[in-house]
Amino acid sequence: MGLPAWRIRNARPGSDSTRRTETAEGSSESGVRGAMQSTVSFVLDGELQTIDFRTSAHLNPTTTVLNYLRGLAGHKGVKEGCAEGDCGACTLVLGELGAAGRISYRSVDSCLVFLPMLHGKQLITVENLRGKSDQLHPVQQAMVETNGSQCGYCTPGFIMSLFSLYKNSNKPSREAIDDCLTGNLCRCTGYKPIIEAAAKSCVDGGIDHFTADEHRISKLLKTISQESVRIETERQRYLRPASLAEALSIKHQRSGAIVICGATDIALRVTKGHELLGEIIDLSDLPELKTISESASSISIGAGASFSEIMPRIEGVFPALHAMLAVFGSQQIRNLATLGGNLGTASPIGDTLPVLIAYGAKVVLESLNGLREIPIDQFIVGYRKTMRKEDEIITSVIIPKLTPAAIVKSYKVSKRKDLDISTVSG
């Protein structure tokens, strides 16, 4: 069976917000502000990489980062074990430029990350850890010295999780190490030597060759255009708006498009269901959706804020929600998953729902027609069905603060404590 002839079409920038651009099907799209580009760029192996799907016939907008790397020479360390974010064999680390110009590092399951979601980021693989000196990274050296690898299939994933811990925690506690390794499964060595490797290596405050190279990598990341991205193939369209206003305009025109904001649930339709997602609107990097703000009476959480970003902001205010998020998936999952996505999919295994109902939270929906606030207990109307209209986007969740006399507790019953869906939660 031959490969399809992929094609990409640039959307020309309009002179104003009402400029009309003809799509591949001959219909028109209006109200989309700014220019659109048809390529995605990121840093890999310390160098800027740009993918143009017009010359990459084997790639499409829902190619996972895992499959992309497995087809790339010299990057076979990443492995597929489960293709659903459970085993951690495909763990990689993403570097992202923060507001202060520093790069932050987070581990992710690459089987759940679509290739265009790398745009503007640094992708770090196990092959990159040795650096130009060809010396083992401290976490690699510690794994060797503690005999932390046996068959070796899971080892690259463990190494990348430990690398993320190394960059984010100095002299971590045993609890922090255990939490870091929750998303990585090992069937032969056992965890004792791996835990020893973590404790032995994470003592240098995250200093390594990535620290020395951070300024250069930051400059590369700053050169990547933050314009909207539009990728079209014969059977798929991927849209990455650069602002919330643009996202609302696109959703108004393309109400049937699938919205992703982390993609940890939607990605399974590709990796496990082998489904072709025809049209995708990716909101994963919209700054307006990542805002977390606090008032005297409530906390507003942007729909695009990851669980890892949410947890430190709510620990002392909403302890029951924090406790539920602490056993939600793994670090790799929490670094991608969002509250908006967890609510928007209306999944029967959405562990945040019962505790949000108990707190009296509200979902904020926006469209070109305005804004609506709906209580969580009214928002879900059935199996994978919500009150959201086709042209609406979930933009935030508002959680009112409790009165001094109120108490909320959360409970989760599952076959195992971590990285497992609930049998019962509340």
Of 257, 282, 307, the domain-final residue: 282
d(CA 188, CA 149): 9
3-state SS, residue 290: coil
Residue 403 shares a structural domain with residue 305:
yes
Give the closest residue to 289 by CA, choosing from 323, 317, 329, 251.
Answer: 251
Whether 236 is covered by a domain: the verdict is: yes
Whether 180 is covered by a domain: the verdict is: yes
Judge contact between 119 and 240, C-beta under 8 A. yes
Exposed, middle or buried, 393 (CB in 10 Å: 0-12/13-18/19+)?
Answer: buried
Q: What is the pLDDT along the chain (426 residues), one digit of tens a residue?
A: 333 333 233 333 333 333 323 333 333 344 444 456 789 999 999 999 999 987 888 899 999 999 999 999 999 999 999 999 999 999 999 999 997 889 999 999 999 999 999 999 999 999 999 988 889 999 999 999 999 998 999 999 999 999 999 999 999 999 999 999 999 999 887 799 999 999 999 998 899 999 999 999 999 999 999 899 999 988 899 999 999 999 999 999 999 999 999 999 999 999 999 999 999 999 999 999 999 999 999 999 999 999 999 999 999 999 999 999 999 999 999 999 999 999 998 887 778 999 999 999 999 999 999 999 999 999 999 988 999 999 999 999 999 999 999 999 998 888 888 888 888 887
Whether 95 is covered by a domain: the verdict is: yes
Residue 175 shares a structural domain with residue 230:
no
- Phi/psi class of residue 9: alpha, beta or left (left: φ > 0; alpha: ψ in -120 to 50)? beta
Look up residue 55 and give its amino acid: T
Give the closest residue to 257 by CA, choosing from 285, 287, 221, 230.
Answer: 230
Handedness of CA 123, 124, 127, 129 (dihedral sign): positive
- Phi/psi class of residue 360: alpha, beta or left (left: φ > 0; alpha: ψ in -120 to 50)? left
Report the CATH number at residue 230. Answer: 3.10.20.30
Residue 254 shares a structural domain with residue 182:
no
Whether 382 is covered by a domain: the verdict is: yes
d(CA 356, CA 235): 38
d(CA 147, CA 261): 39
Exposed, middle or buried, 138 (CB in 10 Å: 0-12/13-18/19+)?
Answer: buried
Residue 252 shares a structural domain with residue 314:
no
Report the CATH number at residue 363. Answer: 3.30.465.10
Whether 320 is covered by a domain: the verdict is: yes
- DSSP notation for 346-363: T-TT-THHHHHHHHT-EE
Give the closest residue to 213 by CA, choosing from 248, 146, 167.
Answer: 167
Pairing of strands 237-240, 279-282: parallel
Q: How many domains does the chain have?
A: 3
Whether 390 is covered by a domain: the verdict is: yes
Residue 311 shares a structural domain with residue 347:
yes
Residue 229 shares a structural domain with residue 306:
no
Of 207, 231, 248, the domain-final residue: 207
Q: What is the pTM of this model?
A: 0.90
Residue 229 shares a structural domain with residue 86:
yes
Give the bridge partners for 43, in sequence order: 48, 122
d(CA 330, CA 109): 10
Of 159, 183, 207, the domain-final residue: 207
Residue 247 shares a structural domain with residue 339:
no
Residue 346 shares a structural domain with residue 406:
yes
3-state SS, residue 195: helix
Q: In this structure, what token pair is assigned to residue 229?
A: 């991205």
d(CA 359, CA 138): 44
Whether 345 is covered by a domain: the verdict is: yes
pLDDT at 35: 55
Helix orientation angle between 307-314 and 319-326, rounded to the nearest 10 degrees: 150
Judge contact between 242 and 34, C-beta under 8 A. yes
Q: Name the DSSP letter for residue 88.
A: -
d(CA 87, CA 157): 9
Whether 102 is covered by a domain: the verdict is: yes
The domain containing residue 153 runs over which residues?
138-207
